[in-house]
Amino acid sequence: MSRRARALLVLGLAALPLAACGRKGRPVAPEARAPQAVLDLTGVVREAAIELTWTLPGRRVDNTRLRQLAQARVFRVDDAGTGEPKSALLADGRIAGYTEVASIRLDAPAPQVEDRRATFADRRGLALARRYTYVVLTSDALGRISPPSRRVSVTFIAAPEPPTGLAAVAGDAEVRLAWRAPARLVDGSAPSGDLAYEILRAAAADATPLPLPPSPVPGSALIDRGLENDRTYYYAVRAVRTFHGTTAYGAATAPVAATPRDTTPPSPPANLAAIPSEGTVRLSWSPSPEPDVAGYVVYRAAAAGGFVRVGSTRAPTTVFVDRDVPSGSHRYAVTAQDGAARPNESARSSEARVTVP
């Protein structure tokens, strides 16, 4: 091999690593590929449990998209409630000094997760007046663990018993609800702290009731407006106690049903006119202005007698011919009816008097 050929070979071999390095990206640290920390962990007392909720992260620490989480783990520590809660430090895949109280699989459908919102109810060994502090970790399919979530501390307090005497009275496109405050907490003691109420509504007997905004509300009554008439709604109420910074939701009452009805009659027709002829009377009138008018009812009376229904028309017809009318003096009136399931009838129009030959 000539000297020139050997020189070219050496230059080519030297360029290979440089070319390879040019094709590789910068290495990413494993911790940068871990899921981001949970940022919105919250906790409340719900009946006899502490309920935690949080949003599952959708990105990694380096802000790239996280396609699938594998696991969420919940850690807990309790204390007497004085001073700052214990710090949350990640050590060997755990929170140092905390006890793991739950592990939720996320790589398959989980009943605790809906629309990336996770829920966990802790019922294990809770004691009244103890403060419980929680931290959540998540991990992906490769076992890369997120940083610790924000801590949330909940003092376990007694929830209120359900309210009593819930009643629902239906009106026109509304339902009026009223109830009495609970007399006790679930531990038998008298209520202390602030009480408010969460109103739950379902559109079917087998549907899940959902809280009505705003929630919770003070007082012991509420008017639910803007409802659909002739549709049955199902209501329940739960008491919500706030004490020393903790919110406790009690059990809900048994549901009650109410069906709003249209109870507002339309305006009476106007400008009733009657034209008699032998054995017949032709009536006409101006329509009632309401859009839900379904028809009109025609009444006839003798000169000194009571009105009797003699016919009807469907809206928008505002003309009626009364046949086989006996000769003599007669009075006529017309009412409007709406299209409600239980139709509402207006007051009678002004009378029209005729004499049939």
Q: What is the pLDDT of residues 321-351, one digit of tens each?
A: 999 999 999 999 999 999 998 999 999 999 9
CA distance 216 to 155: 20
Whether 138 and 195 map to the same domain: the answer is no
Q: Give all strands of the β-sheet with 293-302 in edge-to-edge order.
A: 308-314, 293-302, 328-338, 352-356
Residues 346, 251 share a domain: no
* pTM of the complete model: 0.75
- CATH number for the domain spanning 282: value is 2.60.40.10
Same domain, 100 and 185: no
With respect to residue 25, please indicate whether it lies within any of the assigned structural domains.
no
Pair (124, 231) in one structural domain: no
- Given a contact cutoff of 8 angstroms between Cβ atoms, the answer to whether 334 and 312 are in contact is no
Note whether residue 265 is domain-resident. Answer: no
Q: What is the pLDDT of residues 103-146, one digit of tens each?
A: 999 988 888 899 899 999 999 999 999 999 999 999 999 999 99
pLDDT score, position 4: 52
Q: How confident is the model at residue 17 (pLDDT cuts 50, 70, 90)?
A: very low
Does residue 36 sit in the same domain as residue 102?
Answer: yes
Among residues 282, 299, 288, 229, the alpha carbon closest in space to that of 259 is found at: 229
Q: Is 88 within a domain?
A: yes
* CB distance 348 to 266 below 8 Å: no
Q: Are residues 73 and 43 in the same domain?
A: yes
DSSP calls for 279-346: TEEEEEEEPPS-TTEEEEEEEEEETTS--EEEEEEETT--EEEEESPPSEEEEEEEEEEE-SSS--BP
CA nearest to 316, candidates 342, 343, 340, 288: 288
Domain that holds residue 253: 164-258
Reply yes or no on whether the pLDDT at 20 is more than 80: no
Give the three-class secondary structure for 84.
coil
Q: Which residue has the tokens 């129009």?
A: 349
Same domain, 114 and 43: yes
Contact call for residues 52 and 152 (beta carbons, < 8 A): yes
Residue 288: other Cβ atoms inside 10 A: 24
Among the listed residues 296, 278, 277, 282, the one whose alpha carbon sits nearest the alpha carbon of residue 345: 296
Q: Residue 325 contacts by C-beta under 8 Å, 6 or more apart in sequence? A: 276, 279, 280, 281, 300, 356
The model's confidence at residue 28, banded by pLDDT at 50, 70 and 90, is low
Q: What local confidence, expressed as pLDDT, does residue 26 receive?
A: 58
What is the token pair recorded at 136? Answer: 């959540």
